[in-house]
Structure 1
Amino acid sequence: MEDAARLRAALAEVAAGRLVPYLGPAVSALGAGGGPASPEALCALIEAQVRPPKRAAGNLWAVAQYVESRRFRATLEKIVRQAFAAPAGPNPVFDWLARLRPPMVVDVWYDGGLIAAYRAAGGSADWGWVQGVSRNGEWDEIWFRSYDATSALRPGGADPAWPSLIYKPHGLAAEGTSFLMSDSDYVEVLTEIDIQSPIPDAVQARRGGRGFLFLGCRFDDQMLRTFARQITKRSGGGHVAVIEGPLTRMEGLFLEELGITRLDLPLSAVVAQLAEAAA
């Protein structure tokens, strides 16, 4: 089967609720104007406002840690929230998922584009999201928070009855919410993630028996590989990733480790197939 046919089959599996979409920053970039659309772009934006030492330059997590340590957490939060403050344009992948409302969508970037698309799609409000939170300034052992479609905090966690759940493991860069970005944000998470404490129960339940479709993701960073590995842990397998062009050695090993079928296609091929299906 050619990659285009495999992609068509994978999108059908998402529609049937058997594959969980796992969205990276390149998917957010499809809705132009909503903020930086890669870790490198976000890092450059932060560095334009706070100059880091050479040893940290170019590494988002290290630059965020430098800002947090030297200019306080509030400065980092202000820069990042301003970076994502502008609304994005229409996004064909977000809009498709908002209409489809699959059982779960994993969105690993910091923008709120997918949440906005869900709201814009109208219909019932029986959905919500759960997100990772920074423990900076927190006294309780908290790893994540849940919100309903109105952005109201749900202290009891995500509602198991929601037909669709958005999971943002790195958080959301918006007022009133939290996000993980600095090295210190991740240190405790990475200590506990192998025993799944930072992975919400709702996510663990919904991944069971399902595989993942990775769109707009690269795995050339150890942090990103670690999160993907733990989020997909004990899932149903049969994963697919749309990644165009050469892979790094570590990416290749990671895809092999998780049994991910790689489709060497651009993200535009996904957009084209969605448009064709809607015609």
Structure 2
Amino acid sequence: MKKSELEAQIKEGRLIPFIGMGVFKETKTEDGEQIPFDSDSMILRLNGGRAMSQRLMYEYSRAAMSLEQRKGRPFIEQMTNHIFTFKPYPLPAVYTWLKTLMPRYVIDLNLDDSLLKLYADRDHFLVTGVSRIMAGYDRFLVYMYMASSQEYKRVDKELLSQMLPILFKPLGCTVPEKSFIISDADFVDWLTEAMGGYALPPFLKTFKNDKSYLFLGIDFDRDTYRMVANEVTLGLSGGYLVNDKEEMSKKEEKFLTSHKIEKLNTSLASFLKSDM
């Protein structure tokens, strides 16, 4: 599949960009600090640069759960927010590329506001995931952004429509209200309600059907990301994966095969630089 063909499908709305941590691999702050781009680097940042036990290093959600139990929920929220807001960093190349396409619907698992910056001069909807809340079963919040005032206003879920571009951040975001799905308890709660149909607004439940997806910088080796991707793309019509992994695990291969996702034989950097 040529890049130009994928771009055409994105512009038409048939192919949905789905962005993960791997897009930050080449992204550093102005003083050279690496933005987390995989589970290990996220754990190191959450734990002040120190590695944790082998059991906790398996996946950052485990490590975050351990830190939350020892230091409290406010600590893990503040650390996560600090990572993505304390020092400025450039937009990763994936977002710069998407700026040329301005998709009408994007799914972004990252916790920062890089995606939102692309649409700062355009009215849009923002849907952010939430977890462990007592008010009802919905595990999302819906906002409308007005470029004229540069403000997000929370709106009723029934207002969501194709009238404006939709930015969906299932795992939360640093803005407009800090909300992160990052620890094991967060994911268990979110996924439990997602399986009951409460992770997506009513409009997205039908809008997403028969769409294809372009997964960028996603690592499907861990159960967590596979389960999240499965829930938010139910009814998909296949897709493509671009990441920097040369070899797939058996779990990854099984997931890609069952969802009819083709892994493109290119690195993320090469894909973005290609003119084809």
Question: Which residue of the other structure, out of 22, 29, 32, is the alignment partner of 1:26?
Answer: 22
1:17 maps to what in 2?
Answer: 13
Return 5+ residue gaps in structure 1 as ranges.
none
Amino acid at match of 2:13: G
Return 5+ residue gaps in structure 2 as ranges.
none
**Is contact 2:108–2:170 with CA below 8 Å preserved after alignment?**
yes
The whole-number CA distance in structure 2 between the counterparts of 1:202 and 1:88 is: 34
Please say which of residues 190-199 and 77-86 is displaced more in the overlay: 190-199
1:37 maps to what in 2?
Answer: 37
Please list, as runs of the form range in 1=range in 2, the aligned pairs for 1:56-71 lying within 5 A after superposition.
56-71=56-71
The whole-number CA distance in structure 2 between the counterparts of 1:54 and 1:243 is: 25
1:141 maps to what in 2?
Answer: 137
The whole-number CA distance in structure 2 between the counterparts of 1:58 and 1:255 is: 22
Question: Which residue of the other structure, out of 127, 131, 134, is the alignment partner of 2:128?
Answer: 131
**Is contact 2:24–2:37 with CA below 8 Å preserved after alignment?**
yes
The whole-number CA distance in structure 1 between the counterparts of 2:58 and 2:132 is: 24
Please list, as runs of the form range in 1=range in 2, the aligned pairs for 1:1-279 lying within 5 A after superposition.
5-33=1-29, 35-48=35-48, 55-85=55-85, 86-119=87-120, 122=121, 125-135=122-132, 138-149=134-145, 150-157=150-157, 159-174=160-175, 176-235=177-236, 237-244=237-244, 245-273=246-274, 276=275
**Is contact 1:144–1:198 with CA below 8 Å preserved after alignment?**
yes
Question: 1:17 Cα deviation (Å)?
Answer: 1.5
The whole-number CA distance in structure 1 between the counterparts of 2:12 and 2:221 is: 30
Question: 1:101 Cα deviation (Å)?
Answer: 2.3
Question: 1:207 Cα deviation (Å)?
Answer: 1.5
Deviations 1:192-248 (A, max 9, x none): 32332212323323322321111111100001001111111113x031112341111
Question: 1:30 Cα deviation (Å)?
Answer: 4.8
SS in 2 for 1:22: strand
Question: 1:87 Cα deviation (Å)?
Answer: 2.8
SS in 2 for 1:153: strand
Provide the TM-score with structure 1 as the length reference.
0.85
Amino acid at match of 2:124: W
Provide the TM-score with structure 2 as the length reference.
0.86
The whole-number CA distance in structure 2 between the counterparts of 1:48 and 1:260 is: 37
SS in 1 for 2:180: coil
The whole-number CA distance in structure 1 between the counterparts of 2:176 and 2:70 is: 22
The whole-number CA distance in structure 2 between the counterparts of 1:187 and 1:160 is: 28
**Is contact 2:143–2:154 with CA below 8 Å preserved after alignment?**
yes
Question: 1:175 Cα deviation (Å)?
Answer: 6.8
Identity of aligned residues (%): 25
**Is contact 1:35–1:111 with CA below 8 Å preserved after alignment?**
no
The whole-number CA distance in structure 2 between the counterparts of 1:83 and 1:11 is: 31
Number of residues of Structure 1 aligned to a counterpart in Structure 2 = 265
